[in-house]
Amino acid sequence: MTVEADTIRDEVRARYAEAALAVDTGAEGGCGSGSCCAAPGDALFGEALYDAEQRGELPETAALASLGCGNPTAVAGLRDGETVLDLGSGGGIDVLLSARRVGPAGVVYGLDMTDEMLALAQHNKAEAGLTNVHFLRGQIEAIPLPAGSVDVVISNCVINLSGEKARVLTEIARVLKPGGRIGISDVVAEDRLSAEDRAKRGGWVGCIAGALSVSEYVAGLEAAGLTDVDVAFTHEVADGMHGAIVKATKPEPTGRELPLAGAVAGAGKSGCC
């Protein structure tokens, strides 16, 4: 972990703790200035990106605590019985919606590093009466789940907040089962914008300065071992910066195990693969 990444993480944690407490106490401006949300009634971020029917399925505080830039549950194609992981689950809106999609045979994990958000999410879980939901405390750069344990990874405007995105993408690939997939909402920059250009358009905690470009996202996911990568813009949030849906899959194994001779020849090597 770099000093810069640690500083960014502390700033993000403080901002989202403030947002969670504002929602919990009914204070004005639950988003908090500088977080991934906009002014009340603005459709760029937050609960306005979910339709009324979806919001009606949830506790009010789950919708109010939504600070995302999209609706990943609408594009992830969730199926009955699947295991889902939501990175940066916040107040739990996408976890709770996913839990209804996968049904009692499925399970949904929400991962967040902010104690105040986790407390709010647990409250929302109890109010929703869902039993196939588990909230975990941790960082998206070190997901506390075993390798190959998740069918679908979703996230809503959180990966752009990490100062160590390569680690996040590698962790996503690690926890996905072969054939698993991602359906992520994030702020993504047009390729024409440099890192300096992005910084001029907004702060890191505001989901702008830390955004990857399209080509950076594609290259990062492919480097992590994912395929069929697709980045599709949905709406502009600043000049050259867009809410986007990011999809990719973890490929299935393509061949059989090495023959015995090959396995013996490699027996003295360290490492898993």
pLDDT at 253: 87
User: Domain of 122: which CATH number?
Assistant: 3.40.50.150
User: What pLDDT digit, counting tens, does each position of 56-72 carry?
Assistant: 566 665 555 456 667 88
Structural domain contains residue 268:
no
Per-residue confidence at 80, pLDDT binned at 50, 70, 90? Answer: very high
Structural domain contains residue 264:
no
Structural domain contains residue 266:
no
Structural domain contains residue 267:
no
pLDDT at 266: 36
C-alpha–C-alpha distance, residues 197 and 192, integer Å: 9
pLDDT at 248: 98
DSSP states of 15-59? HHHHHHHHHHHT-S-TT-TTSS--STT-SSSGGGGS-HHHHHTS-
Enclosing domain of residue 110: 3-251
C-alpha–C-alpha distance, residues 99 and 156, integer Å: 16
pLDDT at 261: 39
Q: What dihedral do alpha carbons 50, 56, 59, 60 form, nearest 10°? A: 70
pLDDT greater than 50 at residue 41: no
The domain total for the chain is: 1
C-alpha–C-alpha distance, residues 16 and 92, integer Å: 13
Structural domain contains residue 240:
yes
State the chain's mean pLDDT as an integer: 80
User: What pLDDT digit, counting tens, does each position of 140-154 carry?
Assistant: 999 999 999 999 999
